[in-house]
């Protein structure tokens, strides 16, 4: 079993009528229901109880999903460092949509991870530029999202180890929408879809990709990556 923990800040769903209409119990509950199966167990955590996002929780998490937006700045620095260290030790991490600007993602990337955006409900096509990658398994040439917030290049991330998806918006923009990284012992996947006002996480192919990414980021090994002082191998 892969033990997944979903962090969703769960603010917009309580304060914005349009979001509440799409995700009445929070998008984490929709993700949880969609992701749970015979291979994946899911726990959830929200901003209101972020004090429970402890080293102990991370130690028993194989893959962490992160969705955040308006509370990025209020996530304690110590929590962000805990997440960064867990990834470096081997925990998988999937950063969803506006989590490109979350503290742990920026710590792991070392760059601002900024992009441009607009909210016009554009149609998006998500193209699998590497259909051979396990994260794209089961995806046809593209996934169509009827409406999505538009994210635009330039996206100030390090060159991905592997680019899996590119998004095309009807207004003309593009975004590197599925990006793989290895950092320390951990594997990281950034996945752009998921604006809170559209039912993105009800889309079966989006769920399929996230499930694929859970299996891809899962590393059964954890390790401290500090290196010791050594002695000469042979005298």
Instruction: Give the residues lining the site for a copy of itself (CB under 8 A).
Output: 84, 88, 90, 107-112, 114-118, 120, 123, 125, 127-132, 137, 141-142, 150, 152-156, 158-159, 161-163, 166-174, 176, 181-186, 219, 221, 223, 225-234
Closer CB to a copy of itself, residue 26 or residue 167? 167
Mapping DSSP to helix (H, G, I), strand (E, B) and coil, where does residue 172 land? coil
Measured from the CB of residue 127, what is the shortest distance to a copy of itself in angstroms?
5
Are 124 and 148 in contact, with CB atoms under 8 Å apart? yes
Closer CB to a copy of itself, residue 42 or residue 145? 145
Measured from the CB of residue 184, what is the shortest distance to a copy of itself in angstroms?
5
Measured from the CB of residue 52, what is the shortest distance to a copy of itself in angstroms?
25
Closer CB to a copy of itself, residue 48 or residue 146? 146
Structure tokens at 152: 């635009």
Measured from the CB of residue 70, what is the shortest distance to a copy of itself in angstroms?
15
Closer CB to a copy of itself, residue 43 or residue 101? 101
Question: What is the Cα–Cα distance from 108 to 182, expressed in whole angstroms?
Answer: 10
CA dihedral in degrees (171, 172, 173, 179; nearest 10)?
Answer: 110
Structure tokens at 194: 């998921």
Burial of 67 (0-12, 13-18, 19+ CB in 10 A): buried
Beta strand 142-152 with 2-8 is: unpaired
Contacts of 73 (CB under 8 A, 6+ apart): none
Closer CB to a copy of itself, residue 28 or residue 176? 176
Measured from the CB of residue 96, what is the shortest distance to a copy of itself in angstroms?
19
Closer CB to a copy of itself, residue 14 or residue 222? 222
User: Residue 85 pairs with which residues in a beta bridge?
Assistant: none
Measured from the CB of residue 82, what is the shortest distance to a copy of itself in angstroms?
14
Mapping DSSP to helix (H, G, I), strand (E, B) and coil, where does residue 66 land? strand
């Amino acid at each position: 079993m892969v033990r997944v923990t979903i962090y969703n800040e769960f603010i917009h769903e309580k304060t914005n009528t349009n979001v509440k209409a799409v995700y009445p119990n929070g998008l984490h509950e929709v993700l949880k229901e969609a992701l749970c199966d015979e291979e994946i167990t899911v726990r959830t955590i929200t901003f209101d109880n972020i004090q429970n996002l402890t080293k102990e929780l991370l130690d028993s998490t194989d893959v962490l999903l992160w969705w955040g937006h308006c509370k990025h700045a209020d996530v304690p620095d110590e929590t962000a460092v805990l997440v960064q260290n867990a990834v470096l030790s081997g925990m998988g991490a999937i950063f969803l949509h506006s989590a490109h600007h979350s503290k742990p993602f920026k710590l792991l990337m070392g760059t601002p991870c900024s992009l441009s955006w607009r909210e016009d409900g554009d149609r998006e096509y998500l193209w699998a530029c590497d259909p051979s990658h396990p994260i794209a398994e089961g995806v046809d040439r593209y996934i169509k999202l009827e409406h999505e917030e538009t994210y635009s290049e330039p996206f100030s991330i390090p060159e991905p180890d592997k680019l899996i998806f590119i998004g095309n918006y009807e207004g003309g923009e593009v975004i590197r929408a599925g990006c793989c990284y290895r950092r320390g012992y951990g594997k990281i996947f950034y996945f752009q879809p998921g604006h809170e006002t559209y039912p993105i996480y009800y889309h079966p192919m989006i769920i399929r990709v996230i499930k694929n990414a859970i299996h891809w980021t899962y590393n059964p090994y954890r390790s401290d990556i500090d290196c010791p002082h050594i002695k000469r191998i042979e005298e």
